[in-house]
Structure formats: structure tokens, C-alpha cells
Amino acid sequence: MTQYNSLQSTMFLSMLIGISLLSGCSKALESQPLPAQAQTSEPLTIAQPLASLDIANPSTFTRQKQPIYISYYDLGLDSDIKADNASVPLMVKLNNQLIDSQAVDNDADGQLDGLLVLVDLAPSASVKLDIWSPETSEPSATRSSDIAPVTLTQADLSVKKGGQWVPHTKPPRHNPKQQYQEYIGGQFEHVTEVTPPAYYTDHSNWIRYEGPGLESDKVAYRFYLDWRNGFDIFGKRTSEPVLQQVGLDGYDSYHQAADWGMDILKVGNSLGAGGFGLLAGDKQQTVERVSFVDSWTAKITANGALQSSIAIDYNGWQNSINKQDLQANISIQGGSRLAKVNLKLTQDLPNMAAGIVKHPDTEFIQGNQDITGDAYTYIASFGQQSLDGSQLGMALFYRKNDLMTITEDANNYLVKLKPKGQSGQQSINYYFAAAWQVESGINDRDDFVRYLDQEAEKLTLTPRVRFKTQLSIDQQQAPLTAESALNWSVKLADAELARKTLGYHYAGWDVNRQRLPKFEYDIVGLLPFAYDELAKATGNNKYTEVLPTVTASFVTDDGDIRRYKLANFNIDSIAPGRNLIRLYQQTQDPKYRQAATLLRQQLEQQPRTSAGAFWHKQKYPHQLWLDGVYMGMPFLTEYALAFESGEQQQHSLQEVVNEFLLTQQQLKDPATGLYYHAWDEQKQQDWADKNTGLSAHFWARGMGWLAMAIVDVLPQLPDDPDNKLSAQREQLIAMVNDIADSLSKVQDPHTGTWWQILDKPNATANYRESSASAMFTYFYAKAINQGYLSDKYRPIALKAYQGLLAEFTLSHADGSTSMTNQCYVAGLGFGRNGSYKYYMSERISSNDPKGTGPYILAGIEISRLLQAATAVK
């Protein structure tokens, strides 16, 4: 596993339900040791934990057995896990009591990559975890229980041995050309992997309960390893593991009620409780099951106390579009009814469909679809559909942005999902769940919907984690100097160069959005700009390669811009224009000037509010957003100074100043001095106040875009008393001081950083957000360096930067660095209603350009600030 993939798959401490969890207390860990402490063969000699985590529940309901995953890479341990590592288990302590933990292969690549624990979180409450190696553990630590760890999950697979194959007495009609057989005699034996012979089929009496099984303390599932490819349910009456005893005496027994439970679902010709298939063609009404394969292979990939998982390989799957190998990785974790399905394709497909059986006299339920793209929602069915006559609910959970459509066929309720990833490496993720009335106590539709909504929230709102490792603390011990500040920018820039920065070119891959790169404000604009600034600050020419490698790749020989459309009037697309101007100045190649002129033409034609402020996008009519000021105004300033003159230049610069003043007029809150995210002049959007047109909250990065924009534009405006803009330039300097004063009042006094919603530090689910903190650090430092702010703000700038290091900078064993706790994206409209809960529901990520760019720039400006102070001394 690469270090980047480790971060991408976890997106820094992703709190995942139903993913691979591994445990220091399970038999899985005993056979698969954890990695040794990185960069040393000696045990730690000080009584300090490897890492400490403060974990907060972002929900107002209790989360029991909430999974918390921490990658070895983030812990500062070796990420190259090998089976022969000579190492010792890690230990996890909650309130100085040992709790069960499990090592996991989170991305199913065959290598252990992290640690996962299950913790109980009270509503809106937090807990602290410490991760230790045995050498550094305090001797007073005790287990939370005197009894052995409880086994909460199990993977099970058994086949008969000692009997013989004979012709099948009731062969299926699936493939009349195949001579199917069944197995008589023999005894079941547990195995970890099986590939059935070609003559095996359903009811061949060879695989116990017809395929592999997974269970938690709540529910058990079995997966047909034959042409049906259905998912079935065992309802459990006990929290103890039961699969090892199910079906030992044949198929009939588990269809009858027993002390442990029973088979509760009639799958028939459906996908069952969460199976998958293909909907080929727009008019296809029936899902194609994964039936025609060269062979199936089922393997137990984890069998631990906290998590278990299986993999099923569908080798040579022939479908109506292509022939390929498909792998399904399915996992379940303790305390949950959800099982996660990860499908990996070797050939591209237009979709994969997941389904639940459609029984008569049951109710179809659809979760909220008016949500942000990264949020989870569901489809479900509920009714008296258990084989014992009880109420049974089944559900599929998926991210909204993975959904193509909700549909059904004669046998299934279906979600049609879009495969993600590069060609030949596509994948799909979803969850399925079943809640049996006997086990769950869910007696009616309202109970079931309440359960579904909470599970969707748990998948969407990840626990808020503050994470510090001893390795990171050790590397931040040195005093902050001009040299060290610049070096932190270099470390993150170098790490991102190695991970993905140069891959954002036109023919590359946008790993954050999982698509081909577009002419985006962050990957093509902000980030290459930050590298170019770093090249100037360090004199290192390797950073000068980012502009020609990434931004330049989108420009054709005749000056057109690939994957850009002027008619969209998307002001975000203007931001990379600053780099086009630099490329022209560096090369004098006219194609870059022509491309920049195309963006200038967009601004000339850009729709505006009645007072003249630029609309954010054509599809966001009459709307002024804070983001747009940064996207458009630095470019317009630089274009005017580079390519315009006289009245034309003066007019363009006047437009720049007006945009800031109109933003201040419309978006500033007079009571706090903070700025709302956006304003709808028509007062029609669902997020807009019907009286003011304003959105409801002060989103930190929205104000960060404004703060960076104003300090980037001001140094370029004419500082000449005779210039018509002189008075208005002073207005912008006053605006800088006003912003600085307002931000200082909401700076977190403990860390020097800022919160996702600036004025609600104590609200449930709010968190200290790194990209905005980097932007504000850059703003303060540059404004002081340029003389717009007095030295009284210097302590605020330095405290902010020290917070950026202490709270969000993670050091790795290979010497690289990561930036954590970034709000991946936020916007308004199209399912984003601007509520507080909306801003909390957007994904929290690591090493995204919207954060790494400002981090690099902040280090450069702090370095200059400290260098200037040294020079004065």
C-alpha cells in the first residue's frame, strides 16, 4: 500500500462503520503482528503514548460501539506491513483501562494498515484514547473487564469432506449444458478459502448453508456461492456467535426456529438482502445477476473479535457488456447490523445495481434525497416479511453522489450506482442492513425509520477527532523560526509532490473528486500558485515545474482551455488564470495570454446582481458568494496590470474594488463583523433568509477566501495619491483591519485555530478546521508584512501558525507530512440547505489542495514575518 492510498482510503481517521477492523486481543492479531516503531529497532524508553485521540460524538444520540480507525501511517509507524515483522501488539487505553483493539487491512489489499477500536459515545460527549506500545505502557493500567475479550463478529466457511460427488437429483435450470452434481456423506470442516468445482450449484449439499457467512452480535448474513448470488439473513436470538453451529445437520434445520435464531428471508429470484448485479442499457428493466462466471472463490480475510470480513472473487464474469473479474469484499463489525460491500471491477461498467427483495404487502421507504453529495441516505422495505411472520426491515445505504437512479424490477427494489475510479480500477461501495423484530425490538415503521435515519447520520457525520502522535510532537519541539516555518511549507509541499500534485495535469487523475481533472480553482489554480510562490521563497527550481506540468497542460496550442466552458459562467474557473499570466510572463508563449484573455472575456460577460456584483455561477443566479471574491478578483487585478492600460485598466481595477465593497455591504454581519457565506438577491433559494437573502452561518473557509483575496489584491493596487483608486484602496485597508479584529474575537483561545462555523465553538459536531485556519494565518501574516495591520496582531498570527502545526500537522515515519481536519467542500443549493447540520455533514479530509495550498502560503508569510523581526533586532 502506498502512503497516499493509506491517507485517501481513510481520509485521516475516517470513522467507518462495517469496514475492516483488527484487534490486538483477537486470534487474527496473534497470527499477524503489528509493525515495529518506525525508524528504530529499540523499544521506547519514555512513558509516553504513541498517540492520543480526543473523540467527540457529533450526534445528539448515543453511539454504541462506534468504530474508530487509525492508520499506522498516521501513527508514525511503518506503513509497509509484512507478515514476518517481529513486533509487539499495540494497546489502547480509555481512561487508563485497556480496551479491545484490532489491526485491520482497511483497503483490502492484503496488508495490515491500521488499528480500530469500538467506543461508546454519549450524546454530544467526548472521550480520550491513548495508544501505547507495551514497552511504554504504565504498569497501573487495567483491563475494563476481568473476563476475556468478547467475540462480537465471526466469518464462517465450511465444506464437506470424506464423502463423494454424485449426479444432482434436482439440478437447476440455470445452465442446462452443465452436468451438476451433489455431495453425499462426509462431515463439514472449517476452511478459510474455497473454489467450488464447475459442477457445484445450489443445493449441492457441499458448502454448509451454501456459502460463506458473516455475523455480528446483532445479525448474521450468508452469501450464496452459486449462480443465484443472493444475500440471505439469519435472525439471531443471542449476541453470541452462532454461525459455527448452523446447518451442521443439513439445509432444513436452519429454516426452523431454534434457540439461536433461524433463516428469516425468502430470497427467491431476487438479490436478497443487499446483493448486486448490472442494469445494462437505459431500457433494461431486470437486473442481471452475477451468474455466468468461470469460477467463484470465497475467502475469509479477517476473523476477529471486533470485525470480520470475506472476499468473493467472481472469476471470468460474463455479463451483457464485457467479461471481467469482479471482487466483492464484505465486512461487518461488532455492535452493528450494517455490512459494508466494496466491489472492485477489472473492466469498466456503466453501473452496478444493489437491491433488496420486493415482497408483497411490504412498504418501500426512501430516505432523504435532498442532501449534500457526500451524505448517506437509503432505500428500505419494511413489513411482515420474515419467514417466522415477524416484522423485518431491510435497507441499502449509499452516498448520494454515487446514486444514478432508484428503480425496481419484478423482484427487487434497486439503487443504480455509478462506479468510481480510473479506468480498469473502478469500485463501488455501499452498505446493507437487516433489522428483525425479534432481535432489534423494532416493531413498526416509525421505529425502523428512526433507526435508519440514525444509521445514515452515523455514516455521514464522522466523530470529531483531535489526534496527536509522539512523533509529531517530537518534530515540533524546536523553536519557531523563519527557517523552520519555511521548512514546514517545504515538507508538506514535498510530501504532496510525491503523493499526487503532479498528477493533476489534463491527462492525469483528480484523486480527490475521483474523476479526470478539470480546470479547477484548487488543483489547477491555488495549489500550483502556492508551489510557484514556494519556488520564489526557497530558490528551489523543482517547485517551478508544477505550473508548466499542471496548469499549462490544459492550454491548447491555439490558446483554448480544455475542460472549461465559458457559457457556464462559473467564477471558480477564473482562479487558475493567475497561473496563465505567470506562464505567459515566464515563457512569452502567446497561447497563455490568449487563454487568460478567454477568462477575461468570461468576466466581461458574467451575469451580475443589480449593484454589479458577479454571480457565482450561471446555475446559481443572483447569488454573491464569499468564495467568488478569491476566485475572480486576484486574476482580474493581475490581468489588468499585465495586459490593460489607461481607462480600461482603471475600469477593471475599479471593478475589483467594487466587488470587495459590495461583498462587505451585502455579506457582513454588523453585530459580529463576520461574513455570511452567501447572499441571494432574489431571496428565493431554500438556504436564503426570506427577509435578507443571506445564508444562515459564518462558514470559516468562506471568510478565509475573502481574507486571502484582499491581501493578494491590495499590494497590486496603485499606491498613488493622484490615482482615482487611492481613497478606495484605503477603504480596503480599513476592511482588512475590520476583518482582523472580527476574526481575533472568534480565534480559539486554547489552540489559536478557528472553528468550521466560526461563532459556535461549543455546538455539537463543530470542529477546529484546518484550511480556514491556514487561510487566516496567511491573511494576518501577509497583512502585517505589507503594513496593513499593526504589530499588535503579530501574536495572533504566530499563535495561529503554532496552532496550525500542533493541531493539524502530522509527521510520518518516512519523513513526510500531512495536513488534517480539512472540510473537503461546502456550498449552497442542490441539496445543500445552508443549515448548521449541513456544514457539519460535509466530509472531513486530509491533504486536499484547498488546505495544503494555504498551508504552504502561510508558512512563507510567517517566515517573512519572523525574518523581518530578526532583521529589526
Interval 492-515: pLDDT, tens = 999 999 999 999 999 999 999 999
Interval 617-637: pLDDT, tens = 999 999 999 999 999 999 999
At 142, the pLDDT band (50, 70, 90 cuts) reads: low
Instruction: Say which amino acid occupies 822.
Output: Q
Q: Please, what is the angle between helix 577-587 and helix 590-605, to 10°? A: 150
Q: Please give the Cα distance from 204 to 182 (Å, whole number).
A: 4
User: What pLDDT does 28 receive?
Assistant: 31
User: What pLDDT does 79 receive?
Assistant: 53
Number of H helices, E strands in the chain: 19, 40
User: What pLDDT does 407 receive?
Assistant: 96
Could you write out the three-class secondary structure of 15-69? Answer: CCCCCCCCECCCHHHHHCCCCCECCCCCCCCCCCCCEEEEEECCCCCCEEEEEEE
- Give the residue ranges of DSSP H helices in 700-785: 700-713, 726-746, 770-785
Q: Please give the Cα distance from 153 to 336 (Å, whole number).
A: 10
Q: Please give the Cα distance from 342 to 419 (Å, whole number).
A: 11
The distance from CA 68 to its chain's CA centroid, rounded to whole angstroms, is 14
Residue bearing the bigger pLDDT, 475 or 282: 475
- Radius of gyration (C-alpha) of the chain in whole angstroms: 29
User: What pLDDT does 133 receive?
Assistant: 80
User: What pLDDT does 848 receive?
Assistant: 98
CA dist list (Å): 705 to 225, 432, 462, 677, 710: 53, 40, 25, 10, 9
Q: Please give the Cα distance from 364 to 329 (Å, whole number).
A: 27
Residue bearing the bigger pLDDT, 427 or 34: 427
For residue 96, give the 3-state DSSP assignment: coil
All residues at 6 or more sequence positions from 566 whose CB lies less than 8 Å from its CB, including other chains? 598, 601, 602, 605
| Full-model pTM | 0.93
List, as one string, the DSSP characters of 570-584.
-GGGGTTHHHHHHHH
Phi (first) and psi of residue 27, to 5 degrees: -65, -25
Tell me which of 40-49, 186-195, 225-234 is least confident. Answer: 40-49
For residue 123, give the 3-state DSSP assignment: coil
User: What pLDDT does 48 receive?
Assistant: 85
List, as one string, the DSSP characters of 165-176.
EEE-SS--SS-T
**Residues 641-645: contacts with CB within 8 Å, 24+ apart?**
641/716, 642/581, 642/584, 642/585, 643/593, 643/596, 643/597, 643/600
Span 549-557, average pLDDT: 98
Interval 520-551: pLDDT, tens = 999 999 999 999 999 999 999 999 999 999 99
Span 432-460, average pLDDT: 97
Q: Is 113 a catalytic residue?
A: no
Across the strands, what pairs with 250?
A: none
Span 210-221, average pLDDT: 98
DSSP 479: P
Q: Please give the Cα distance from 340 to 429 (Å, whole number).
A: 7
User: What pLDDT does 36 receive?
Assistant: 33
At 20, the pLDDT band (50, 70, 90 cuts) reads: very low
Span 226-252, average pLDDT: 94
CA dist list (Å): 49 to 92, 312, 437: 9, 38, 44
Residue 32 has pLDDT above 60, yes or no: no
CA trace torsion 570, 422, 372, 824 (10° rounding): -80
- Give the residue ranges of DSSP H helices in 443-481: 445-460, 470-475
Interval 665-724: pLDDT, tens = 999 999 999 999 999 999 999 999 999 999 999 999 999 999 999 999 999 998 888 787
| Count of alpha carbons within 13 angstroms of residue 839, beta-carbon side | 26
Query: 97-99 and 142-143: which strand pairing?
Result: parallel
Span 425-449, average pLDDT: 97
Residue 829 has pLDDT above 80, yes or no: yes
Nine cell digits for residue 751 = 489552540
Q: Please give the Cα distance from 20 to 55 (Å, whole number).
A: 20
User: What pLDDT does 720 receive?
Assistant: 83
Residue 139 has pLDDT above 80, yes or no: no
User: What pLDDT does 722 receive?
Assistant: 79
Number of residues written out for the chain: 873
Catalytic residue among 627, 680, 712, 848: 627
Q: Please give the Cα distance from 533 to 782 (Å, whole number).
A: 13
pLDDT mean across residues, the chain: 91
Interval 252-296: pLDDT, tens = 789 999 999 999 999 999 999 999 999 987 666 799 999 999 999
Residue 834 has pLDDT above 50, yes or no: yes
Q: How many CB atoms lie within 10 A of CB 45?
A: 8
Q: Please give the Cα distance from 603 to 322 (Å, whole number).
A: 46
Residue 84 has pLDDT above 60, yes or no: no
Residue 223 has pLDDT above 90, yes or no: yes
Query: 844-845 and 193-194: which strand pairing?
Result: unpaired
User: What pLDDT does 250 receive?
Assistant: 79
Cell 451524505 belongs to residue = 375
Residue 41 has pLDDT above 50, yes or no: no
Q: How many CB atoms lie within 10 A of CB 198?
A: 12
User: What pLDDT does 47 receive?
Assistant: 66
Span 445-463, average pLDDT: 98
Cell 475516517 belongs to residue = 14
User: What pLDDT does 800 receive?
Assistant: 98
User: What pLDDT does 868 receive?
Assistant: 87
Residue 22 has pLDDT above 80, yes or no: no
The distance from CA 73 to its chain's CA centroid, rounded to whole angstroms, is 17
User: What pLDDT does 175 receive?
Assistant: 80
Span 79-87, average pLDDT: 41
Residue 266: exposed, middle, or buried by beta-carbon count in 10 A (0-12, 13-18, 19+)?
middle
Residue 630: exposed, middle, or buried by beta-carbon count in 10 A (0-12, 13-18, 19+)?
buried
Nine cell digits for residue 65 = 460501539
All residues at 6 or more sequence positions from 270 whose CB lies less than 8 Å from its CB, including other chains? 230, 355, 356, 357, 358, 411, 412
Tell me which of 141-150, 294-303, 339-348, 757-766 is least confident. Answer: 141-150
User: What pLDDT does 136 receive?
Assistant: 58
